[in-house]
Amino acid sequence: MKLDLQHNLKKYKRPFLIAGPCSVESEEQMMQVAQDLSELQPALIRGGIWKPRTRPNSFEGIGAIGLPWLVNAGKEVGVPVTTEVANAIHVEAALKAGVDVLWIGARTAVNPFAVQEIADAVQGTDITVMIKNPINPDLMLWIGAFERFQKAGINDLIAIHRGFSVYKHPRYRNVPNWEIPIGLTEEMPEIPLICDPSHISGRRDGLFPIAQKAMDLNFAGLMIETHNNPDKAWSDAQQQITPNQLKELLDQLVLRKADI
Ligand code: PEP
Ligand code: MN
């Protein structure tokens, strides 16, 4: 299922919705979340296969065995799927399994060698690539990542704002520094900008104001981690919400008249 990015951005208007679990855990979990999400008609279903965890001894992803679970769940509900890739081996496995869209995580976006390796690995394909902001507030590093893909001939690109790492903030897991995604849009207006309130907030009760702020700032969409049983999630349990809670959140968003 190729994601026709421009068509989808128009079709779904705002928010262009990306939802699904932090991590793919099992075939049943992935199918359940996809089915529960399908009513919301997300543009993309996400699921992490390889998880870049801050410390060892946490769940580091189910690995390539989970790729068909993700792909089949998407096929079942007719929605393209996306996963995070951090090196050329991930790219090859994801493309072979039929993953429709790739994303680069915040811990990979900081490393030009890794970004270049991924850009080289997708050169010659027509895949859509989403790039999260680097974990540190460095706009030029984020811009540089997009340029590496553009030089590789990949032009279906999406930016995901997931906040910036900070030591012990009372409110945010990652501070939003809204001026940085706004700066990206000023420099690269052709790249659609999506907000990831899940990783900015770190807590499910903090998602709504961040999502609303993104809409107020004219972001094109939202990526929100969604799990069938968030408290039991194998990663990022505190910030995930059920598909029903996601529906409530979306229903409460105030969009400008022109977007409705
Ligand atoms: C994720 O999306 O689950 C993830 C690991 O995100 P980030 O790279 O933003 O930390
Ligand atoms: Mn996560």
> pLDDT tens digits for 130-187?
999 999 999 999 999 999 999 999 999 999 999 999 999 999 999 999 999 999 999 9
Q: Tell me the C-alpha distance between 97 and 69, whole Å.
A: 10
Residue 232 has pLDDT above 80, yes or no: yes
Cβ–ligand 1 distance for 162 under 6 Å, the answer yes
Question: Collapsing DSSP states into helix, strand and coil, what is residue 175?
Answer: strand
Q: Tell me the C-alpha distance between 83 and 23, whole Å.
A: 9
Residue whose Cα lies nearest atom 6 of ligand 1: it is 105
- The fourth-level CATH superfamily of domain 15-24+43-50+61-253 is Aldolase class I (3.20.20.70)
Per-residue pLDDT averaged across 34-60, rounded?
A: 95
| Predicted pLDDT of residue 2 | 67
Q: pLDDT per residue over 188-225, tens digit each?
A: 999 999 999 999 999 999 999 999 999 999 999 999 99
Q: What CA dihedral angle connects 175, 230, 251 and 83, to 10 degrees?
A: 70
Residue 232: alpha-carbon gap to chain centroid: 21
Angstrom distances, CA of residue 239 to CA of 67, 158, 204, 249: 23, 23, 4, 13
Question: Collapsing DSSP states into helix, strand and coil, what is residue 73?
Answer: helix
Question: Across the chain, what does the average pLDDT equal?
Answer: 95
Residue 13 has pLDDT above 80, yes or no: no
Angstrom distances, CA of residue 197 to CA of 71, 126, 135, 214, 226: 24, 28, 14, 9, 12
How far apart are the CA of 52 and the centre of ligand 2, in A? 9
Cis amide bond preceding 15, omega within 30: yes
Contact between residue 159 and residue 181 where contact means Cβ atoms under 8 Å apart:
yes
Residue whose Cα lies nearest atom 1 of ligand 1: it is 22
| Predicted pLDDT of residue 260 | 52
Angstrom distances, CA of residue 121 to CA of 11, 42, 51, 125, 193: 30, 27, 19, 9, 24
Based on its alpha-carbon atoms, the radius of gyration of the chain, rounded to whole angstroms, reads 17
Paired tokens of 194:
């999506």
Q: Tell me the C-alpha distance between 19 and 226, whole Å.
A: 6
Q: Which atom of ligand 1 is nearest to the CA of 223?
A: 2
| Predicted pLDDT of residue 69 | 98
How far apart are the CA of 155 and the centre of ligand 2, in A? 26
Q: Tell me the C-alpha distance between 194 and 134, whole Å.
A: 14
Q: Tell me the C-alpha distance between 110 and 131, whole Å.
A: 11
Question: Which ligand is in closest contact with the Cα of 161?
Answer: 1
Q: pLDDT-derived band of residue 256, with 50, 70 and 90 as boundaries?
A: confident
Per-residue pLDDT averaged across 66-89, rounded?
A: 98
| Predicted pLDDT of residue 160 | 98
Per-residue pLDDT averaged across 2-28, rounded?
A: 84
Q: Where are the domains of the chain?
A: 15-24+43-50+61-253
pTM score, whole prediction: 0.96
Residue 34 has pLDDT above 70, yes or no: yes
Residue 100 has pLDDT above 70, yes or no: yes
Per-residue pLDDT averaged across 16-42, rounded?
A: 97
Residues 6 or more apart whose CB falls under 8 angstroms from that of 95 comprise: 122, 125, 127
Q: Which atom of ligand 1 is nearest to the CA of 106?
A: 8
DSSP states of 179-193: HHHHHHHHH-TTS-E
Q: What's the ipTM?
A: 0.99
